[in-house]
Amino acid sequence: IDLFAGIGGFHLALHNLGAECVFASEWDEHARETYKHNFKDKSPNLFRDDNFAGDITLVDKNKIPSFEILTAGFPCQPFSPIGQQKGFDDTRGTLFFDIAEIIMLKQPKAFFLENVSGIFSHNDGKTFSRIKSVLTEELKYSFKEYKVKASNYGLPQFRPRLFMIGFKNPKLFIDEPVKQDLLFNMSHVMRGDAER
């Protein structure tokens, strides 16, 4: 399932690996329109079966279809230097607990979460510690975090992010991907000759 789906980065990546998205949630009207345009042909059942929800806080989480992998790029503004950094005191910051509730109810095999790298040090590390504690101590999943920059994986963008990955089987984990040189830079993009 694809929570806080944006325009579907997680959906596209997992679809390309052979996974089927059975439920998605995105509240922003313009992102929803783009998401539907991007995936109505790739995942028609998602839209036909009315499993493309808006605000996750209004969803009856018991009615979410069974799934094996939960992905979520939950709102980063409460943890970002660009935002006011109110963390869990910001309503958007509490949306992580909706993710935790869905994991508790549905017991997927794995989760893959994404946020700004600043969440790692937000509130002197207490925010990240709380997230990790919920996922490992309360929900009993394995947990590994990865600080990554898109530029280390072939893309011409700095964009540091924190990925958090865990498995129901606490012995499982994923090694950090092997870094690679830039495939192209913004000059290539502007000239229209970037590798596709």
Task: List residues with catalytic annotation.
Answer: 76
Measured CA to CA, the distance from residue 5 to residue 163 in angstroms comes to: 15
Alpha helix locations (H) across 42-125?
A: 44-48, 96-106
The alpha carbon of residue 142 and the mean position of all alpha carbons in its chain are separated, in whole angstroms, by: 17
Q: Write the CB contacts of 153 (distance below 8 Å, at least 6 apart in sequence).
A: 177, 179, 180
Under a CB-based contact definition with an 8 Å cutoff, are residues 44 and 18 in contact? no
β-sheet bridge partners, residue 153:
180
Rg (CA), the chain: 17
- Separation of CA 119 from chain center: 14
Q: Which of 163, 154, 164 is nearest to 194 (CA)?
A: 154
Work out the burial of residue 179: count CB atoms within 10 Å of its CB; fewer than 13 is exposed, 13-18 middle, 19 or more buried: exposed
The encoded tokens of residue 85 equal: 């950094």
